[in-house]
Amino acid sequence: MTNWGFQIQKDRQIDFDRNDLKVLMEVEKHEPSIKLCISCGTCAATCSAGDFTEYSLRRIILLVRRGEIEGLESEISKCMLCGKCQLACPRGINTRNVILQISKALQKI
Amino acid sequence: MEKIWASQKVRHSSNSIRMSKLVAVIGAGPAGLECASALAKRGIRVKLFDRDDNTGGHLQNWNELFPDRRKSTDVLQLLRTNSDKLIEVKSGTTVKRVEKSNNSFQIHTETNILPNVDAVVIATGFDLFDARRKEEYGYGIYDNVITSADLEKMFSLPGSIRTIDGRVPKRVGFVHCVGSRDEKVGNLHCSKVCCVTAVKQAIEIREQLPDTEAFCFYMDLRMYGRHFEELYKEAQEKWNVNFIRGRLSEAAENQDGSIIVKVEDTLTGRPLKMNVDILVLMSGILPAFYTPDIVSEIPVVFGDDGFLKSTDEHFRANLSGTPGIFYAGTCTGPKSIAETLADARSASLAVANFLDEISN
């Protein structure tokens, strides 16, 4: 293909009217404590995977809430399910099950 | 036994001295009503002024209070029935200014002058920010953009939460900090009560219209008071209220009258847009516009935020610096109803102490 020296950029905007919230609904059904997340970041701060990669549970939960699920499947596989985040979460979210349920829902959908 | 007799005698004599004293309370909202009734309980005569025909101030326009959802009418009724024969209510009377003459004060109303007032309580409260000043949010331009006060009126009329063309809204958005924390409109202060009010109102939307989604657009959620954080948690857990951290840059109208909001979702770091059917602007609390006129002839100090400045915010919160002039309620800054009532009772104590001092 001819290289014209420019390309079309993907829109960065989150279009909340078009995004698909199926994954969120599925997770909420099986692990309702996801609703309690206040995006404080304690989970990501304590996360061992986060020390070496860009992995952040705070960000993953947020993207699920916004319906921005592209690329999440490989992202969530970085979790080693150690459960430190669950010990640290101030809202008592069952974070390990949230991760498992997100993973399951992503495979299902 | 003798001691008890003596103390009763003292109280009796101090009561009769107080009986001869007259206090003017300007503003018959929650602060003015509570302060007047506390003064009357101590045997002090009160004239209670309000420009409105009815007492109660802004509370008259509110349906339910945060965080316990108590009916405003319940609180209002208690405040009104607390009145005493020592209180003379002068509603429908606009106070123009207070003047000092020798050792007393004069209250100048539109039609009269009330002389020989021993102490004055400023309980002039607040005015709501005029949301039209945030033109980019479209209040007064787009029909489906309303304020928190408008929505509260709808709550008191069941079945009235509808778009302008009568449809049940599918989505309702709440914009926090409208007229607060905003240099562009000249208000740097936080109005304090709007965050929890938005959470309360979002819950009420979900209760009354279970198929309607609710979204709160916030900069920070300031759940400062007892039970507030729990209400926020309930909004998430039980009512599925959505919270998006970001301040709206603008709202625009679609052809069908719905509203497009643009915001940065600051937690993902990406711009976000969505449609809502009704957009609710959480109007902030400003110092009442007529307070400066009322105190124009007395040396009082205003803070940079326009609210009256107490001589000491820890120990003399109700004192103005001019002996005999006292503050009660939101004239010294945003307060909840409970805080306003506590402040008003505190002011009554300061007034009673002052009257005792000038009698001795």
Beta bridge partners of B23: B46, B119
Minimum-distance CB partner of A62 among B236, B267, B275? B267
Contact residues on chain B for A39, CB-CB shorter than 8 A: 245, 267
CA of B187 vs chain A CAs: smallest distance (Å): 28
Q: Tell me what ipTM this predicted complex has.
A: 0.87
Q: Which of B55, B48, B56 is nearest to B24 (CA)?
A: B48
- pLDDT tens string, chain A, 109 residues long: the values are 788 888 888 889 999 999 889 999 999 999 999 999 999 999 999 999 998 899 999 999 999 999 999 999 999 999 999 999 999 999 999 999 999 999 999 999 8
Instruction: Tell me if A62 and B273 make a contact (CB, 8 A cut-off).
Output: no
Instruction: Tell me if A14 and B271 make a contact (CB, 8 A cut-off).
Output: yes
CA of A99 vs chain B CAs: smallest distance (Å): 18
For B109-116, the CB contacts below 8 A with 24+ separation are B109/B49, B114/B24, B114/B47, B116/B22
List C-alpha distances in Å: B272 to A22, A62, B137, B142, B267.
19, 13, 16, 21, 11
pLDDT of residue B208: 96
Q: Which of B274, B275, B276, B277 to mutate to test the interface with A (most CBs of A within 10 A)?
A: B274
- Judge whether B245 is closer than 8 Å to chain A, CB to CB: yes
Whole-number Å distance between alpha carbons of A28 and A22: 10
Q: Consecutive sets of 10 residues in chain B, 360 residues long: mean pLDDT of each?
A: 44 60 98 97 96 97 97 96 88 97 94 96 98 98 98 94 97 98 96 98 98 98 97 98 96 97 95 97 98 96 97 97 97 98 98 93
- Judge whether B70 is closer than 8 Å to chain A, CB to CB: no
Q: How many CB pairs (< 8 A) connect A and B?
A: 43
- Judge whether B265 is closer than 8 Å to chain A, CB to CB: yes
Beta bridge partners of B278: B172
Contact between B219 and B188 under an 8 Å Cβ cutoff? The reply is no
Minimum-distance CB partner of A16 among B233, B245, B273? B273
**What is the pTM (predicted TM-score) of this model?**
0.92
- B353: its two tokens: 């102490």
User: DSSP label at B298?
Assistant: S
pLDDT of residue B10: 45
pLDDT of residue B4: 44
- Phi (first) and psi of residue B297, to 5 degrees: -100, 5
Contact residues on chain A for B272, CB-CB shorter than 8 A: 13-16, 66
Minimum-distance CB partner of B270 among A13, A39, A65? A13
